[in-house]
Amino acid sequence: MSRKKVTIRDIARESGVSVATVSRYLNKNSYTSPETEKKIQKVMERFQYTPNAIARGLAKQKSNTIAFVTPDITNPFFPELVNSIEKVAKAKGYSLLLINTNEQELQNLDFWNHFQSKYIDGFIMAESELNEKARRYLDEMEIPFVRIDRAVHPEHSNSVHVDNFEGARLAVRHLLEIGCKKVAHISGPNSLYPAQERLMGYQNVISNTKMTSIVLEGDFTLESGTAQTEKLLQEHPDVDGIFYANDLMAIGALKAFRAHQKSVPEDIAIMGFDGIRLTEIVHPEISTIKQPIDKIGETATNQLIHFIENPDEVCGENVLLKVELVERESTRR
Amino acid sequence: MSRKKVTIRDIARESGVSVATVSRYLNKNSYTSPETEKKIQKVMERFQYTPNAIARGLAKQKSNTIAFVTPDITNPFFPELVNSIEKVAKAKGYSLLLINTNEQELQNLDFWNHFQSKYIDGFIMAESELNEKARRYLDEMEIPFVRIDRAVHPEHSNSVHVDNFEGARLAVRHLLEIGCKKVAHISGPNSLYPAQERLMGYQNVISNTKMTSIVLEGDFTLESGTAQTEKLLQEHPDVDGIFYANDLMAIGALKAFRAHQKSVPEDIAIMGFDGIRLTEIVHPEISTIKQPIDKIGETATNQLIHFIENPDEVCGENVLLKVELVERESTRR
DNA sequence: TTGAAAGCGCTAACAT
DNA sequence: ATGTTAGCGCTTTCAA
């Protein structure tokens, strides 16, 4: 038996109906009599028919593909996130395209033209920012997207967002509860909104104590965790609790503590933020504020697909998810 | 200004030529006079024309997308790999689809029908195995693919493969050189060819000494690293060197050593395999046999695209890449 | 409820 | 060197 690809026309001919009827059956959007449905169904099975997605895409101007756009997929947040995004997408009949591109290029209208030329139905972005021009262009082209993680910004809607402020408060209060007397914060880049929120959470709690606020700005990388901790230990050798704006920096800090013979949690207790798996792998295991990563991916994807399929519902909401304190060795006294 | 999408017909009309000429210009596969080229070029720029990828796909039966197929993208190997795959793919005009699916489903012909219905041009797989039926089907459909990492198997060609045997030998010899007297191996699953090769490398070196071979089978997970190390310490408390078939298990082992108050490298020296970034993050930093991850991704992608674009060259080669010893704290005496 | 036919936007013979 | 035209496989009016 030759593997000639079977088309809708073959199915139509073989079932004795027109292609239009077969198409209707396929799309279940118009009535078809039960009998013809049965017939078509049978024939499709016999021929192992699978409608051609590309042809469909061309006719409907829709690819049933969404994209995940990021400048750096080695961000440790990424794999789990993609997992849940892909899961939901697949369940709803969408494929996931991975697009690795820098912030620069996202401002380029050509980039979006190519994007549209594939009829990509929408995308999720986790890190970059779009300038005014790009946003307007996307708007004209009616390509929906949702922001998560570092891409969240209060000026823009359509995002899935976690409670960074409350999370930071949880973290700092936890440090106070276990008896820390001098608590510092290594923040994320000030330009990022989630980093600002975490900083504000820290300050909010500290301002209700007699402590003074000690903040150094990091950049969310492992290396900056090590470096800023070094600096902090230099300037304030008596710090006994540190809240890091993300887990990676907290993990990087461990190297600095080792160099300074400080033991965690005995000399200094530390908290991270994110809940990446790495926190359980290092020693000591790091206490953290855990984000519901799967839920973020799921919610974002559901929301995106909702927009795609209901373009009329103009304005998207912002979802806010809860975070949770996870206590581990780094704060166990 | 309305954003009506501009098509090849608009460009043709506006440049005073036929669509065929524009198409030729686009595909640069037939001659067009320099003058008309200039004209067309101008018009395209003026209209910001981007050819519709879906329409092209339908006509050429080709989507210019490749897929990365894996059952578990949280495999720590993944992000860096995808990075290099995507980079090469993009440079050659291909997009990357991420497909998360279990081994089970890969045997399902419907899965491949859907795959084909999108005109996916080829794929890379890193972990699963395909049964005879699926392989034949792919063959009939002429969907090329290449195997890397755990999916490599000596019975199949078209793979990019590292020198596991030699790598294992390097690792074990290194342990001997730093003075280990009793060296054990925690292997990967026996069912996986790369794991077998690493095991053979271990045995090869050990057989040239007066030592006896001590091997426990792990499964490449962090947890199994901890568990098998526990077991090993129970059975052979005097082991003073361990070669782990991958980094993750070596990292998991650290927990076991801590529990048994064994210090690394003083009491026991350990080596991993892979060269994932994590080995530099934990303490002590783990010596390892580093695979050229980027190169694997690049080579695999280049090879895949080569097959896609030269379907005539029937039989694919197997590329073998070198590995490299990286000495870190875990073997520094 | 079903069919005929005109697209969707591009490619690739075949002509000229 | 360029134009005509018939697809690629499916969807969607419009009629019946």
Residue-wise pLDDT for A61-82, tens only, equals 999 999 999 988 988 888 989 9
Instruction: Pick the residue from chain B with its C-alpha nearest to A226.
Output: B281
Asked if the Cβ–Cβ distance from A86 to B63 is below 8 Å, we say no
pLDDT digit string, tens, across residues A240-282: 999 999 999 999 999 999 999 999 999 999 999 999 999 999 9
pLDDT at B166 over 50: yes
Partner residues linked to A242 by β-bridges: A184, A270
**Which CATH superfamily is B164-291+325-331 part of?**
Response regulator (3.40.50.2300)
Tokens of B242: 């361990």
* 8-state DSSP, B33: -
CATH topology of B65-162+294-322 equal to that of B164-291+325-331? yes
Which ranges of A260-289 would DSSP assign to H, the alpha helix?
Answer: none
Residue nearest to nucleotide C3 (CA to C1'): A18
Domain boundaries of chain A, sorted by first residue? 3-59, 65-162+294-322, 164-291+325-331
Distance, CA of A30 to C1' of D5, in Å: 33
* 8-state DSSP, A139: H
Residues of B in contact with A3 (CB under 8 A): 140-141
Tokens of A242: 């540190």
Q: Kindly give the pairing relationship between strand A287-290 and strand A241-244.
A: unpaired
Residues of B in contact with A256 (CB under 8 A): none
Minimum distance, in Å, between the CA of residue A179 and any CA atom of chain B: 27
No. of helices (H) and no. of strands (E), chain B: 13, 12
Task: Give me the architecture of the B65-162+294-322 domain, per CATH.
Answer: 3-Layer(aba) Sandwich (3.40)
What DSSP string runs through B194-218? HHHHHHHHHHHHHTTSSPPPEEEE-
For chain A, how are helix, strand and coil distributed in percent, rounded to 5?
45, 15, 35
Euclidean distance between CA atoms A297 and A78, whole angstroms: 10
Residues of B in contact with A116 (CB under 8 A): 5, 50
Distance, CA of A57 to C1' of D15, in Å: 27
The residue count of chain A comes to 333
CA distances from A263 to A229, A242, A256, A284 (A): 13, 13, 10, 9
Q: Which nucleotide is nearest to B30 (CA to C1')?
A: D1
Asked if the Cβ–Cβ distance from B53 to A114 is below 8 Å, we say yes
Q: What share of chain A in percent tops pLDDT 90? A: 90
Asked if the Cβ–Cβ distance from A281 to B278 is below 8 Å, we say yes
Instruction: Say yes or no: B115 contacts chain A, CB-CB below 8 A.
Output: no
Coil, strand or helix: which one is B115?
Answer: helix
Asked if the Cβ–Cβ distance from B283 to A114 is below 8 Å, we say no
Q: CB–CB of A90/A116 below 8 Å?
A: no
Euclidean distance between CA atoms B190 and B68, whole angstroms: 25
In chain B, residues 227-256 whose CB comes closer than 8 Å to chain A: 251, 254-255
CA distances from A222 to A229, A253, B104 (A): 11, 8, 38
Q: What pLDDT band is residue A157 in, cutting at 50, 70 and 90?
A: confident
pLDDT digit string, tens, across residues B113-160: 999 999 999 999 999 999 999 999 999 999 999 999 999 999 998 999
The pLDDT mean for chain A works out to 94
Identify the pLDDT of residue B1.
34
In chain B, residues 176-195 whose CB comes closer than 8 Å to chain A: none
Q: Kindly give the pairing relationship between strand A145-148 and strand A183-187.
A: unpaired
Minimum distance, in Å, between the CA of residue A314 and any CA atom of chain B: 19
Residue nearest to nucleotide C8 (CA to C1'): A59
Identify the pLDDT of residue A2.
40
- Residue of B8, B54, B80, B109 to mutate when probing chain A, most A C-beta within 10 A: B54
Instruction: Say yes or no: A117 contacts chain B, CB-CB below 8 A.
Output: yes
Residue-wise burial string across B179-190, b where 16 or more C-beta atoms lie within 10 A, e elsewhere: ebeebbbbbbee
Identify the pLDDT of residue B315.
66
Task: Give me the architecture of the B3-59 domain, per CATH.
Answer: Orthogonal Bundle (1.10)
